[in-house]
């Protein structure tokens, strides 16, 4: 079945990528794994075998080697759009709710809105079950005025009315909201406080990553302020305050300054980046990874002006157990090293 026939029969997701000038020869299935979030290699291979992966408009096999300037196009199966917004009875950790807004504490592992590979079980699915007639933003995502990553835990404010959505969206645009995150990062962050500034844009080599472009020739302006909370020999607990809110901002900024987030698989933080070569140390780090099987990032504090009362509201959330246990493990390790 051709792509044209598929498009007539079902609603599919379309992806189109151009290999950059420095692209080294790479199998097309591996190439696409770097671009399409949550797509499995098997699914890409099946798409190729069905003739739905094209390079320069010619169907290719999964082992085709992508070269510089190749135009790679792929079509993947996707459920109909109307099925993406199904109300699901999923428990929400609600810190505050009134007629205008709702503040929720999102657990790690929950996707904020439906998308490729995550068609159910999202925060939006839970929200539309809990609240009728949520307003939609410009991307047709009910209630959302900001988001956090799937494996980041913490606070989100959701708009329940069109007025609240417009008011809150303007606050995020004007940078008048307050957002504080706690992150555990690799290495000893030497300065007690600091400012990271550098444009953030999609990586030219791995489309699932964001990169920092310090010269400002690409990406969007981004600023992160940080303060060291505690040092644990080979990792540091930091508080991060966002001046801007770019995709993966904290993750990209800290990797840029050499302090990748602990166990951040997408940015290489799931490797032993600092410490000793001793097997015992590596086993200790692996145990920490098992306790905290995600990037060590939590959206702890959220502040904003209420749309109707104009009161500035500030909410705090507890650091989740997986991060607490990992931090305690590092704390004990540091104490034992000193003894």
Amino acid 244: pLDDT: 93
Task: Identify the pLDDT of residue 203.
Answer: 84
- Separation of alpha carbons 35 and 220, rounded Å: 20
How far apart are the C-alpha atoms of 245 and 243, rounded to whole Å? 7
Two tokens at 170?
């303007």
Torsion (CA) 115, 117, 120, 121 in degrees, nearest 10 = -100
Which structure tokens are listed for 171? 């606050």
pLDDT in tens, 220-234: 999 999 999 999 989
Classified by CATH at the fold level, domain 83-174 comes out as Pseudouridine synthase (3.30.2350)
Look over the chain and give the mean of its residue pLDDT values, rounded to a whole number.
88
For residues 225 and 246, give the distance between their C-alpha atoms in angstroms, rounded to a whole number: 14
Structure tokens at 326: 């990992």
Report the pLDDT averaged over residues 10-16: 60
Q: Mean pLDDT across the stretch 212-218?
A: 83
Element spanning 48, H or E: helix 41-49
pLDDT at 82 over 90: no
Catalytic sites, residue numbers = 149
Fold agreement (83-174, 178-338): yes
| Degrees to nearest 5, angle at CA 303 with 245 and 101 | 100
pLDDT grade for 117, boundaries at 50, 70 and 90: low
Q: What is the pLDDT of residue 21?
A: 82
Pick the most confident of 6-15, 63-72, 305-314. Answer: 305-314
pLDDT tens digit sequence for 246-296: 999 999 999 999 999 999 999 999 999 999 889 999 999 999 999 999 999
Asked whether the beta carbons of 156 and 299 are under 8 A apart, the reply is: yes
What is the predicted pLDDT for the residue at 11? 42
pTM of the complete model: 0.79
What is the rounded CA–CA span in Å between residue 11 and residue 295?
Answer: 33
pLDDT higher than 70, residue 10: no
CATH of domain 178-338: 3.30.2350.10
pLDDT of 211 reads 92
- The pLDDT of residue 268 is 95
Residues 139-173: tens digit of each pLDDT: 678 899 999 999 999 999 999 999 999 999 999 98
**How large is the average pLDDT for residues 92-116?**
93
What does the alpha-carbon distance between residue 251 and residue 182 come to, in Å, rounded to a whole number? Answer: 12
Q: Cα-flanking dihedrals φ and ψ of residue 83, to 5°? A: -80, -10
CATH of 3-78, one of 3.40.390.10, 3.30.1380.10, 3.10.290.10, 3.40.50.1860: 3.10.290.10
The DSSP annotation for 206-243 comes to -TTSEEEETTSSSSB--EEEEEEEEEETTEEEEEEEES
**What sign does the CA torsion over 57, 63, 68, 73 have?**
positive
For the chain, give every domain's residue range: 3-78, 83-174, 178-338
Structure token pair of residue 241:
């305050």
Closest CA relative to residue 326, chosen from 285, 297, 292, 299: 292
Rg (CA), the chain: 22
- pLDDT over 80 (residue 83): no
User: What's the farthest any 2 CA atoms get from each other in the chain?
Assistant: 70
């Amino acid at each position: 079945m051709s792509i044209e026939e598929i498009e007539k029969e079902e609603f599919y997701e379309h992806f189109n990528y151009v290999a950059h000038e420095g692209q080294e020869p790479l199998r097309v299935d591996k190439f696409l794994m770097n671009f399409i979030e949550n797509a499995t290699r098997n699914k890409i291979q099946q798409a190729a075998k069905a003739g739905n992966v094209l390079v320069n408009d010619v169907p290719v096999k999964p082992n085709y080697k992508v070269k510089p300037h190749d135009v790679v196009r792929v079509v993947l199966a996707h459920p109909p759009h109307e099925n993406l917004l199904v109300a699901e009875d999923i428990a929400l950790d609600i810190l505050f709710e009134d007629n205008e807004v709702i503040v929720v504490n999102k657990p790690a592992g929950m996707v904020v809105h439906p998308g490729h590979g995550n068609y159910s079980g999202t925060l939006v699915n839970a929200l539309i079950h809990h609240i009728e007639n949520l307003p939609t933003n410009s991307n047709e995502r009910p209630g959302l005025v900001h988001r956090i990553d799937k494996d980041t835990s913490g606070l989100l404010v959701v708009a329940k009315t069109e007025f609240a959505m417009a008011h809150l969206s303007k606050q995020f645009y004007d940078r008048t909201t307050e957002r504080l995150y706690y992150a555990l990062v690799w290495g000893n962050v030497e300065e007690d406080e600091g400012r990271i500034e550098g444009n953030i844009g999609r990586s030219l080599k791995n489309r699932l990553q964001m990169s920092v472009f310090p010269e400002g020739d690409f990406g969007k302006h981004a600023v992160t302020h940080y303060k060291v909370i505690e040092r644990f020999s080979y990792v540091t607990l930091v508080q991060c305050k966002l001046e801007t809110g770019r995709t993966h901002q904290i993750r990209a900024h800290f990797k840029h300054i050499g302090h990748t987030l602990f166990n951040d698989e997408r940015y290489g933080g799931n490797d032993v980046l600092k410490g000793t070569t001793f097997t015992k140390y590596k086993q200790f780090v692996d145990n920490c990874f098992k306790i905290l099987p995600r990037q060590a990032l939590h959206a702890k504090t959220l502040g904003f002006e209420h749309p109707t009362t104009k009161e500035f509201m500030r909410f705090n959330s507890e650091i989740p157990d997986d991060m607490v246990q990992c931090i305690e493990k590092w704390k004990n390790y540091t104490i034992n090293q000193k003894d």
